Amino acid sequence: MANVVRDPREHPGAIVADFAAPPPLVTFKPADVALVYGSKWKQRYFYKRGNDYFVYPAQWDIQNRVWRPYHPGPGSDWWVGFYGSEQSERPTGPLCDGCHSVGYDTRTHAVVEWNVGCEKCHGPGSDHVRAPSRANIVNPARLDSVQANDICLQCHTQGRPLRNPIEGRYYDWPVGFTAGERLAGYWRLEEHRLGETSFTHFADGTAHKNRMQGNDFVQSVMYRRGVTCFACHDVHGTANNADLVRPPNVVCLTCHNPRTPMGPPEGPAEHSHHPLTSAGSDCRGCHMPQIEQTIANVNVRAHTFRFMPPELTLAYKEPNSCTACHVDKDPKWADAEVQKWGNVSPWRMQ
C-alpha cells in the first residue's frame, strides 16, 4: 500500500515540514492539518470543511527543505477554469482523492479506505474473502497487457473523464473505473500536438510534469510489445528506489543485453560510450532522463525510454539526455560528441 495520505493525529511524525519560522505564505499551524499528502518529493496539507477536504496554498519541498506556494493558475491544469480562483474553492475530492483512496463516493464524498489499498488494483474483494477463488478477484498478471497497464494508468496519467461534470463537479480522475476494465471507456489522455510545447508536454510528445508516466509509456516500443509496469515495478514494495523489482541496470539488462534479440549487440560501456561504472552507463541516464517536474527543480524520470538527443534542445528548446548529466556543457557540444559514435545511426540523433 502506498501511504501517501496520512492523518497527523494518528501518525504524529507524518508532518515533515519546518514550522519553526514559516514564511508569510504559511497561514496555518500543524494543529490545523487534517491530512497530509506526500512524503518523498513534496508534502501538501489539507483541512476539512463539511464533507470535503481542501488544500492549503502552501506546500513543503522535501528535497530542498523550503516552503513553496501551491496554487494552480490559468494556463495550467485543465480543470482550473471550472473552479474558483482560491484554493478554498477547490475541493480535493474531484481533483485528488480518487487516486489516493479506494472507493471514493461522488455523492457522499466519503472513501472506503485512504491510500492505494488492495482493491485499487485487484477490484472488490468481499466475495473473495468469503470464498477465495481466481474467479472473484482480479490478478493483473492474468490480464492482457492493456488491461494490466490500465490499472496503473488510471492514476499515473494526465487526462480527463469522458463524462464531466459528475454530480455537478468536474473530476480529474477516471470516475467509475475498476481494475480489470478498459480504462479507455472512462478516460482519455491529455492531447498533444506534435511540435507544440504545452503545460503537459514537450514538443516531441514527452511529458514534462509529474503523474504522466503512463502518458509517456503508451508511446513506447515496450508498451506496444506488451510489457507491463510490473515487469519493472513491484507495488507491494521492495528495497529498491521506485519499488523496482531489481536494481535499475539489472532490470534493464535482464532483457536488453547482447544475448537477447532486444539487444543492444554490444555491452553497456560500448553501447553508452561511457565507462561501465560511471553515471553515463546507467541506462536511465540516457533512456529515462530526469526532466519531468514534480516541484521547482525536482524532477522525475521520463518513461518513453527514448534516447533524447541534443538535437531536441537545439530544435525545440526541450531537455536532452546528455546535458541533463553534463550540466557544464551546452547542447552543441553534446551534439558534436554523439555524432562521433560510430555504432549509432546518425538519424537517431535527429
- Tens of pLDDT, residue by residue, the chain (350 residues): 467 999 999 999 999 999 999 999 999 999 999 999 999 999 999 999 999 999 999 999 999 999 999 999 999 999 999 999 999 999 999 999 999 999 999 999 999 999 999 999 999 999 999 999 999 999 999 999 999 999 999 999 999 999 999 999 999 999 999 999 999 999 999 999 999 999 999 999 999 999 999 999 999 999 999 999 999 999 999 999 999 999 999 999 999 999 999 989 998 999 999 999 999 999 999 999 999 999 999 999 999 999 999 999 999 999 999 999 999 999 999 999 999 998 888 777 77
Phi, psi of 301 (to 5 degrees): -85, 145
Contact 118, 78 (CB under 8 A): no
Q: Which of 60, 90, 81, 108 is nearest to 298 (CA)?
A: 60
The domain limits of the chain are 102-189
Q: Is 83 helix (H, G, I), strand (E, B) or coil?
A: coil
CA distances from 39 to 13, 35, 96, 320 (A): 11, 12, 16, 29
CA distance 317 to 342: 26
Q: Is 78 helix (H, G, I), strand (E, B) or coil?
A: helix
- Region at 275 (left for phi over 0; alpha for psi -120 to 50; beta for the rest): beta
